Structure 1
Amino acid sequence: MTQHETPSLNVQDQAAQGSVTETSSQKAAIQQDRSAKKVKPVVRGEKLRGAEKVARNPVKVIATDKPQRKPDWIRVRIPSTPRINEIKTKLRAHKLHTVCEEAACPNLGECFGGGTATFMIMGDICTRRCPFCDVAHGRPNPLDPDEPRHLATAIADMQLRYVVITSVDRDDLRDGGAQHFADCIAETRQRSDSIEIETLVPDFRGRMDVALDILEACPPDVFNHNLETVPRLYARARPGADYAWSLKLLKEFKRRAPDVVTKSGLMLGLGEENDEVIEVMKDLRAHDVDMLTLGQYLQPSRDHLPVERFVTPQEFEELGAIAESMGFKHVASGPMVRSSYHADLQAHGEKVS
């Protein structure tokens, strides 16, 4: 008998009680159970967000009652300026998406205002349901074969010198989208000779060899894949992902392309302990990762994972110093740091926090 089932009375019990009626609390429990089972079907091209997105996750997310109060050191401002509106207009004209917008990044105003953006390819619907991420889940549409050309044209038009190309997870594709990444890299280099390209890739679950065969032939300048959190929290925060697999992806790409910088990042505040973070940093160095980012997790909505704690700037400094002592070529550690935040400065060894 499940926890939601109401035990039935036998004939003798019914006779003794005269009749059986459901109490209001029983009715509410039954209705709640029925509602929980009504998971919205996934329709191609339709976006699922919030509670609908995480309804099928094995570890359930309990919605918070109200927004969490942020400490004084977290200040998020998203201004509207002509430069920001200009970039958004160009992105829409070229049918492009940015992770800055789709993931509700707190640094959007600063990055857009400075003329930089992280482009998100292969659509805006992800096949994964990570409850920390604000990108929509669902059955993605087919790839747009013109997207590499549109992306390259937009980058040239915006006269960018450093770009980050990331994507949704595409578990529906045989190569996980690796060829589309390669096509975007090739088209961008063709139209912008001096461009530097960083790719923030998914884990290519079950397709590592195929994907790396493709990317090895058309490598970026920086190969980034985020571990996101400590292994103990993977079932809760990264359903469908595997910690050891992600580490192997980073190490295997470095083996194939030793001259390409490798990079990874963690969000803090999901319930990890600092000792666990240090162990992850050791694992990353053991797998030949060159660059590291550490930032504060912020809850996108009440239906996402709650912030377990706000890590202090001092702790970020201390963890950053430990990482540097381990031999990372560059470490960006601070509450507002994100994987792609000032990625150009990170790549050139400048301090970002």
Structure 2
Amino acid sequence: MVTVIDTLARKPSELRHPEKANRPDSPVLRKPDWLRVKAPGSGQYNATRAIVREKGLHTVCEEAACPNIGECWSQKHATLMIMGDTCTRACAFCNVKTGLPQPLDPEEPSKVGLAVAQMGLNHVVITSVDRDDLKDGGAEHFAEVVRQIRAQAPGTTIEILTPDFLRKDGAAEVVIDSGPDVFNHNLETVPRLYLKIRPGARYYHSLRLLERVKERAPAQFTKSGIMVGLGETKEEVMQVMDDMRSAGVDFITIGQYLQPTRKHAAIDRFVTPDEFSAYAAIARAKGFLMVSSSPLTRSSHHAGDDFARLKAAREARQGR
């Protein structure tokens, strides 16, 4: 029988091959069988894609080359990416293009609200690129998207996956006050790897952002996620779990990092399904209301079903 300690006590290959991480034009490792997914192509997938194209919207599903796009779009679920398709940062893990973005489209919030209504979504996830070029980081635009969804699709629950609004005073509060059901901001990796993997961000600023959500709107669910397979140790992952719990995070996601291109940070190793199960057991023991930990876990994968379970878990805990 494999135990939690057995599966997590493996020495990361970063200690053996430190030169491999973030190397230019590094080889893309062959995926193991547990990471292989079917190519998209169902009728509902095509219908979802048609609505996205018709409204001129962007999705993180496409921009970030998510492996779950076929499954999600076939179930009428898409994570919409607002404020354009060009990010002002250049994180080493991300496939979204970097550069000088176009001005915001003032009609985008209403377009998103209408698209959500037309798709008949029960739950929608809204994310964005980083917009460090804007005075408020795009906070008011983000909040208006939430308000438009509420107006045009009142039965839809809303999950947002936000940037960190670094050095934008008052920006996070504007988004929090728009009243999403779930406020998600990903820590992405362990603190030691930030300068290499997420150089434009600061770990403790992101952690403080999640804490502020709970302080300002205690009823909002908070969610955060990390990628593994970048060279982190099990002790570092468990410390991130503790940091999240200290900030009041309700829901943690843990997924395998997949290298988009040879120009991106190299995969240190493929974490096995048993190890993901071990991380899930530890996270539950630490008190998270919800845990999603698997090779193909992504922030918005199964978000609608997870939201229903998240509410049930809170109700069960409050009823004790």
TM-score normalised to structure 2 length: 0.89
**Match for residue 223 of structure 1 among 152, 176, 183:** 183
- For the Cα contact (< 8 Å) 1:262–1:290, is it kept in 2? yes
SS at match of 1:155: helix
Which whole-Å CA distance do the structure 2 matches of 1:184 and 1:322 have between them? 36
In 2, the alpha carbon distance for the partners of 1:215 and 1:158 equals 24
* Bigger relative contact order, structure 1 or 2 (CA pairs below 8 A, ≥6 apart): 2
Matched position secondary structure for 2:183: strand
Matched positions, count:
291
Taking the TM superposition and a 5 Å limit, the aligned residue runs for 1:248-267 are: 248-267=208-227
State the partner residue of 2:140.
179
The offset of 1:60, in angstroms, is: 6.1
Contact 2:165/2:172 (CA < 8 Å) preserved in 1? Answer: no
Aligned pair 1:280/2:240, yes or no? Answer: yes
1:295 aligns with 2:255: yes
Name whichever of 215-224 and 312-321 sits farther off: 215-224
CA distance in 1, matches of 2:22, 2:261: 15
Q: Aligned letter for 2:263? A: D
Percentage identity across aligned positions?
52
1:302 positional shift: 1.3
* In structure 1, C-alpha distance between the alignment counterparts of 2:290 and 2:51, rounded to whole Å: 32
Instruction: Give me the whole-angstrom Cα distance separating, in 2, the residues matched to 1:216 and 1:298.
Output: 31
Matching residue's letter, 2:274? Q
Identify the residue that residue 33 of structure 1 maps to in structure 2.
none
Describe the superposition over 1:186-228 as per-residue Cα deviations: whole angstroms up to 9, x where unpaired.
0111011111000000000101x41133123212000000000
2:126 is matched with 165
Q: Deviations over 1:83-103 (max 9, x none)?
A: 212211111111100000000
The structure 1 residue matched to 2:56, chosen from 89, 95, 99, is 95
How does 1:1-353 map onto structure 2 within 5 Å? 61-65=23-27, 67-207=28-168, 209-349=169-309
> Cα distance, 1:76 vs. partner?
2.4
Give the direction of change, closer, same or farther, for the CA distance of 1:87–1:347 in structure 2 (3 Å limit): same
Please provide the CA RMSD for this pair: 1.4
Unaligned runs of 5+ in 1: 1-58
Structure 2 CA distance for aligned equivalents of residues 244 and 253 of structure 1: 14
Q: Distance in 1 between matches of 2:205 and 2:177?
A: 22
Pairwise CA distance, 1:72: 1.9
Gaps of 5+ in 2: 1-20, 311-320
- The higher radius of gyration belongs to 1
Q: Tell me the distance in 2 between the aligned counterparts of 1:338 and 1:213.
A: 26
* 1:68 partner letter: L
Kept after mapping to 2: 8 A contact 1:78/1:106: no
Q: Could you report, residue by residue, the CA deviation over 1:217-251 in whole angstroms, capped at 9, with x for unpaired residues?
A: 21200000000000000001001100000000000
